[in-house]
């Protein structure tokens, strides 16, 4: 039986690369599209070392409609997982037009390319940021979306709306929207992990960079939030658990006769940890004391958000297998491996 052929946009990125590994190990053929805006070509060597497979990559800007159309004219896909997007909350506040232009145009071009092939089967990388400052916790898929706290979050809200509108107009369309929380950790092999081409901004890679001496100190943005220790609360999920959920969501569309109305799933552990609790967890696992300071609140940050993952468990059969200690152990092992390069 011929392998299903899947396009992974942003395939050299953090979540994209780990998902490619899970897809290959699950029997899919993968083609990537990544222009290395915030990723490194060396990531594909890590994927090859883990899977034994050389992944074909199109180093194109998917926001460029001509480049995207040319790729779709050369390749045929059974489905796509769309990760490619700018994702820095603070940067989006400073450069909103760049985020709208890139994140929305790339999505439109991928959807247009799938339509040109008479197919859909799109998994969209969304975010818990679409909930804004939710009025109840944990959030479920039915929790009303609040006002976006950043242009980045608004691009995710708008992306979801575009997908819903497109599927209403096209009966053949099948799409799954995955709202995930805070990915962290690395592949257990130590061969791939979070290695942005630009300076790290997410909490866990900043923690490991400080512990490794690459950064002088960590800033905790705010200690006066209405939480148990004053720092923001987030739901941290291991990247390989998250990768697995993408494979299961894709399989759900390809093998089950799902309706064309897009399905939405929260992906998180279901527990909220404060920033200070995450720091403490790293120090326990690594034995390294972190140099950190308390700074002012950061524009665009929500106070607290964590998931109710019941629906993903029931409909996708997805259950996270790793906790915060696994996240910290694999992230630290990956950071130390980077130091040998």
- Is 152 a residue of the active site? yes
d(CA 272, CA 235): 5
To the nearest 10 degrees (0 to 180), the angle between helices 65-74 and 96-116 is: 30
- Set 152, 180, 225, 236: catalytic member: 152
Where do the DSSP E strands lie in the chain?
Answer: 5-9, 29-33, 56-58, 79-82, 122-127, 175-180, 182-184, 218-221, 233-234, 236-238, 263-267, 273-274, 292-295
Q: Please, are residues 79 and 6 in contact by the beta-carbon 8 Å criterion? A: yes
DSSP state letters, 230-252: SS-EE-EEEHHHHHHHHHHHHHH
Residue 181 · residue 233 · CB < 8 Å = no
Q: How far, in Å, CA of 167 to CA of 174, rounded? A: 7
Which tokens in the block code for residue 200?
């790290």
Active site residues: 152
């Amino acid at each position: 039986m011929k392998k299903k052929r899947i396009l992974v946009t942003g395939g050299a990125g953090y979540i994209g690369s780990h998902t490619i590994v899970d897809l290959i190990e699950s029997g899919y053929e993968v083609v990537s599209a990544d222009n290395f805006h915030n990723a490194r070509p060396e990531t594909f060597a890590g994927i090859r070392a883990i899977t034994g497979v050389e992944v074909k990559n199109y180093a194109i800007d998917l926001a460029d409609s001509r480049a995207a159309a040319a790729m779709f004219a050369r390749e045929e896909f059974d489905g796509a997982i769309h990760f490619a997007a700018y994702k820095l909350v603070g940067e989006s506040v400073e450069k909103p037009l760049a985020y709208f232009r890139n994140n929305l145009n790339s999505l439109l071009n991928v959807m247009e390319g799938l339509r040109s092939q008479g197919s859909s089967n799109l998994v969209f990388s969304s975010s818990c940021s679409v909930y804004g400052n939710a009025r109840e916790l944990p959030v479920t898929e039915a929790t009303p979306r609040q006002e976006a706290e950043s242009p980045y979050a608004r691009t995710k809200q708008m992306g979801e709306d575009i997908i819903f509108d497109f599927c209403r107009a096209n009966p053949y369309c099948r799409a799954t929207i995955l709202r995930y929380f805070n990915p962290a950790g690395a592949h257990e092999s130590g061969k791939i992990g979070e290695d942005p081409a630009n300076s790290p901004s997410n909490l866990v890679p900043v923690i490991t960079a400080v512990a490794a001496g690459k950064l002088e100190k960590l800033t905790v943005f705010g200690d006066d939030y209405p939480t148990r220790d004053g720092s923001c609360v987030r739901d941290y999920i291991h990247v390989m658990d998250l990768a697995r959920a993408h494979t299961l969501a894709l399989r759900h569309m390809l093998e089950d006769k799902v309706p064309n109305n897009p399905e939405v799933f929260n992906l998180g552990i279901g527990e909220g940890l404060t920033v200070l609790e995450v720091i403490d967890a790293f120090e326990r696992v690594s034995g390294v004391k972190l140099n950190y300071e308390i700074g002012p609140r950061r524009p665009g940050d929500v106070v607290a958000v964590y998931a109710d993952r019941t629906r993903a468990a029931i409909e996708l059969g997805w259950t996270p297998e790793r906790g915060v200690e696994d996240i910290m152990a694999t992230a630290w092992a990956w950071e130390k491996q980077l130091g040998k390069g």
